[in-house]
Structure 1
Amino acid sequence: MSDLLAEGISVVEDVHKIHEPVPHLKAIYFITPTEQSVDGLIRDFKNKSSYKYKAAYVYFSDFCPDILFNKIKSSCAKAIKRCKEINISFIPQESQVFTLHIPDVFHGCYCPDVEIETVLNLVAQQIVTLCGTLDENPGVRYKKQILDNANVLANLVEEKLVQYYKTDEEGKVKGKTQSQLLIVDRGFDPVSTVLHELTFQAMAYDLLPIEKDIYWYQTDESNKKEAYLDEHDELWVKIRHRHIAYVLEEIPRLVQEISSSKKATEAKLSLSSLCQLMKKMPHFRKQLSTQTLHMNIAENCMNKFNSHVEKLCKSEQDLALGTDAEGQKVKDFMRVLLPVLLNKKFDGYDKIRAILLYIFSMNGTTQENLEKLIQHAQIVTDSDMIENWKYLGVPIISSPASQPRKPARRDRSQEVTYQLSRWTPVVKDIMEDAIENKLDPKEWIYCSECPAAWNGSGAVSARHKYKTNMTDDRKNEPKLIIFILGGMTYSEMRCAYEVTEANKSFEVIIGSTHILTPERLLDDMKALSKPKVTQDSFSLIIE
């Protein structure tokens, strides 16, 4: 909101709701091209004598159908000074992360009673607006899976890209750029969605009550403070992908550095040094406030870790990898699982997550065994959180027809890891294999021509290999765009940064319909039959 105020925006209103007229101000309408949003716009300018605003500047987040455009034209055209489609039907969540901000699509994709074609058509259109904003016409591929969602979506995206880039301003067809778009369905890696993560961002969003990136913390006995976790916070950007053990060491060190710098300045008693100190004080206060915030987050995470998460992590890692911390193969998965189910300190969600990891590791279990596990864990009322994974194409009840689910993984035995953080999300393997042109064409199907950067020749990679200034060259680098239908995890988001840092010739961008946390995913899994929630649109009033 502060950014809007700085640009002269005085009020933000919901276009769907009745609001007070401000006839001396012009209004900016940033709305989705839906009938409900258009009706809200028309209502504000129904009669010339009762215009709510002086004029309207209308920006649609996506393509506006002719029927809605004509409705506006016939109702309030004289009040509209500008009407434009800006094609940004996505949220740039982070520098290398985007979301479509449509979590209700999870229901639309996986509920057996919903027509999925309409849902996927919406998702495809939004993905195309991302490509348009990046000025990319990427080659499109999808992962062959049990469900056909990725196949349908990838072909819809390619069709819409062809239409979008049919002609440019000079009347020429825009060819494929040197980037690639890979589309996968959420069932490709169920493990990463339920595992406890110990990197800072993923751990905080899993264990702490952070809503819409807002964290509330206690500054003293009587006051609470709100903090927004985004890329304006330089310290957050620096440490969000680091292991909690590193974070706990790094923050006090930074505090000590600032404290030492401040004391050195205060030791100088000249008038000029005092003036410099006064100028720096807001900066000191801001830095200390930021570090207090992140130390608070880290300590709260560690309180959870010490109380029960540490014990869970060992069992979860063994179940996910099939090996223990010493690299020895787990012989009896049930012996790993049972202590979790019988421990009264663990809540229902923790037990469900452990049961799911057990089932994923076994590629399904018998109906009889599942019922026993549910009884042991005392989660009868939440059993849908387990059983409904079948709608994502993940085997829960084993059968002779069950296809092997475990993909071949990259060898990471030589990588240095923490014992309780040995699991690597599958999407990191996909990113690295794509950059090295190692994706199996039988598993990763092309929907369009393959750009030169990804055809195995290595020609484009060689041209970019020795670039050192990532920021300056980023716009010209081939991009690997990963889209996960059905939600992505914070650990998967982290992988985009790690792979980009390790392979400076390519930029990896990851996106999804929405961002998952384990508990929200399990709630969504249970509520697959509930009605979808519509998204809001807002009008902005500018002086």
Structure 2
Amino acid sequence: MSMSDSDSSSHGGDQKTFRQISRDRLLYEMLRSTKVKDSKSTWKVLIMDKITVKVMSYSCKMADITEEGVSLVEDLYKRRQPLPSMDAIYFIQPTKENVVRFLADMSGRSPLYRKAFVFFSSPVNKELVTLIKKDASVLPRIGALSEMNLEYFAIDSQGFVTDHEKALEELFGENAEGSHKYNACLNTMAIRVATVLASLREFPNVRYRAAKSSLDVSMLTTLRDLVPTKLAAAVWNYLAKYKATIPDFPQRETCELLIVDRSIDQIAPIIHEWTYDAMCHDLLNMDGNKYTHEVPSKTGSTTEKKEVLLEDHDPIWLELRDAHIADASERLHEKMTNFITKNKAAQIHHSSRGNWLLNS
């Protein structure tokens, strides 16, 4: 899914990209808010689960996190060394398993950390809050308990995904009707779409493609037909809660949210994309946005591996990613030719590389 750059009033009217808004919330609204003047601990430990690690990595770099006072990043489900003199920041999903892990870290006479600042990625239910309150040894050690409402993956400056690779199977497959996976997938998607709108401080008119009604009684409406309807209803329920609980959240509609399923355009999935971006992901063995390739070593006798991140900070990628592959190829060749003619070091390297290719 994608959306245009937001000009949200909650961010001082500054026009920021979608990824920048996500980054600012994570760094300033979450990490920086844990800096207490009377705190004895300068550096903190950041603890995340599998999902929140991905949320963080899509928007922030390790240098950004370190700059906000985090000296160590840990996995909630891995064995960790006790650091009783340091404070910890928990950025986790509001699941029972995660809360039980957190309580195990912070309860008893010897907690792993001095104080815990807990931030949930999406709304937490009352049962889990009650579970935390029941542990009298943990309550004095909690510095914050807050809902960040940020559980989506900002893949670039204008786009996000809810990370459901099997959504087509779970929502439209033969065994989708009435299955637990069907409901779980819809609910998780609704939560994550709603947290996008919470981050943007947008309260939309939710419009969706309703199931076609038929006078023919033999044409029954299936759960597959109701995917947009059910998703729209779930998103609206979360937005209604945000409207009542999040400070400065709009009380009137500010934009339009359109929810449709793939049946509205059945030809699109089988049309091959010929953009530079699509071709890179289709033809190269990429890990997310990271491409690893081999180049000649300095000695020229062997090769060495190098990693390239195809992201918004790369101006060439930003310029060419949406161009047709033929156009992109011509423009890349032109840029390379111009660079070589103006750079003596590049001329020498290009010449030596050509000789290496001939010899090999």
- Counterpart check, 1:47 vs 2:47: no
Q: Which residue matches 1:128? A: 194
Q: Which residue matches 1:191? A: 267
- Superposed, 1:361-510 pairs within 5 Å as none
TM-superposed deviation, 1:20: 1.9
Q: Which residue matches 1:154? A: 232
User: Quick one: distance in 2 between partners of 1:55 and 1:167?
Assistant: 26
The counterpart of 1:15, out of the listed 76, 80, 85, is: 76
User: Residue 148 of structure 1 aligns to which amino acid in structure 2?
Assistant: L
In structure 2, the CA distance between the partners of 1:2 and 1:186, relative to structure 1 (3 Å rule), is: farther
User: Residue 146 of structure 2 aligns to which amino acid in structure 1?
Assistant: K
- Counterpart check, 1:99 vs 2:161: yes
Contact 2:277 2:322 in 1 (8 A): yes
TM-superposed deviation, 1:18: 1.9
TM-superposed deviation, 1:203: 1.0
TM-superposed deviation, 1:35: 0.8
Q: Which residue matches 1:82? A: 144
TM-superposed deviation, 1:65: 0.9
Q: C-alpha deviations, 1:504-530, integer Å up to 9, x for none?
A: xxxxxxxxxxxxxxxxxxxxxxxxxxx
Where does structure 1 lack aligned partners over 5 or more consecutive residues?
267-283, 293-543
The structure whose residues are more often helix, as a share, is: 1
- Counterpart check, 1:214 vs 2:290: yes
Measured on the aligned residues, the alpha-carbon RMSD in Å equals: 2.7
Q: C-alpha deviations, 1:168-223, integer Å up to 9, x for none?
A: 758x980111x111111133334332333221111111122112222111122421
User: Residue 268 of structure 2 aligns to which amino acid in structure 1?
Assistant: S
- Counterpart check, 1:65 vs 2:129: no
User: Residue 60 of structure 1 aligns to which amino acid in structure 2?
Assistant: F
TM-score (norm 2): 0.66
In structure 2, the CA distance between the partners of 1:201 and 1:176, relative to structure 1 (3 Å rule), is: same
In structure 2, the CA distance between the partners of 1:56 and 1:167, relative to structure 1 (3 Å rule), is: closer
The counterpart of 1:56, out of the listed 104, 116, 122, is: 116
User: Quick one: distance in 2 between partners of 1:206 and 1:259?
Assistant: 29
User: Quick one: distance in 2 between partners of 1:260 and 1:40?
Assistant: 60
User: Quick one: distance in 1 between partners of 2:96 and 2:258?
Assistant: 32
Q: Which residue matches 1:176? A: 253
User: Quick one: distance in 2 between partners of 1:131 and 1:37?
Assistant: 25
SS in 2 for 1:93: coil
User: Residue 332 of structure 2 aligns to which amino acid in structure 1?
Assistant: I
SS in 1 for 2:160: strand
Q: C-alpha deviations, 1:385-427, integer Å up to 9, x for none?
A: xxxxxxxxxxxxxxxxxxxxxxxxxxxxxxxxxxxxxxxxxxx
User: Quick one: distance in 2 between partners of 1:244 and 1:23?
Assistant: 55
Q: Quick check: which has more Rg, 1 or 2?
A: 1
User: Residue 153 of structure 1 aligns to which amino acid in structure 2?
Assistant: L
TM-superposed deviation, 1:97: 0.6
SS in 2 for 1:155: helix
Q: Which residue matches 1:516? A: none
TM-superposed deviation, 1:249: 1.6
Q: Which residue matches 1:232? A: 313
User: Quick one: distance in 2 between partners of 1:74 and 1:232?
Assistant: 47
Q: C-alpha deviations, 1:451-490, integer Å up to 9, x for none?
A: xxxxxxxxxxxxxxxxxxxxxxxxxxxxxxxxxxxxxxxx
In structure 2, the CA distance between the partners of 1:77 and 1:168, relative to structure 1 (3 Å rule), is: closer
In structure 2, the CA distance between the partners of 1:101 and 1:48, relative to structure 1 (3 Å rule), is: farther
In structure 2, the CA distance between the partners of 1:194 and 1:208, relative to structure 1 (3 Å rule), is: farther
TM-score (norm 1): 0.45
User: Quick one: distance in 2 between partners of 1:246 and 1:110?
Assistant: 37
Structure number with the bigger relative contact order (C-alpha 8 A, sep ≥ 6) is: 1
TM-superposed deviation, 1:2: 4.1
Contact 2:203 2:250 in 1 (8 A): no
User: Quick one: distance in 2 between partners of 1:81 and 1:71?
Assistant: 17
Where does structure 2 lack aligned partners over 5 or more consecutive residues?
1-61, 212-223, 297-301, 354-360
User: Quick one: distance in 2 between partners of 1:150 and 1:207?
Assistant: 32
- Counterpart check, 1:28 vs 2:104: no
SS in 2 for 1:215: strand
User: Residue 54 of structure 1 aligns to which amino acid in structure 2?
Assistant: R
User: Quick one: distance in 2 between partners of 1:128 and 1:32?
Assistant: 15
Contact 2:93 2:120 in 1 (8 A): yes
User: Quick one: distance in 1 between partners of 2:204 and 2:250?
Assistant: 14
Contact 2:202 2:250 in 1 (8 A): no
User: Quick one: distance in 2 between partners of 1:93 and 1:149?
Assistant: 24
Contact 1:29 1:58 in 2 (8 A): yes
Aligned residues: 264
- Superposed, 1:226-305 pairs within 5 Å as 226-262=307-343
SS in 2 for 1:242: coil
User: Quick one: distance in 1 between partners of 2:264 and 2:201?
Assistant: 29
In structure 2, the CA distance between the partners of 1:82 and 1:159, relative to structure 1 (3 Å rule), is: closer
User: Residue 190 of structure 2 aligns to which amino acid in structure 1?
Assistant: A
% of aligned pairs identical? Answer: 31
TM-superposed deviation, 1:153: 1.1
User: Quick one: distance in 2 between partners of 1:52 and 1:128?
Assistant: 34
In structure 2, the CA distance between the partners of 1:189 and 1:37, relative to structure 1 (3 Å rule), is: same
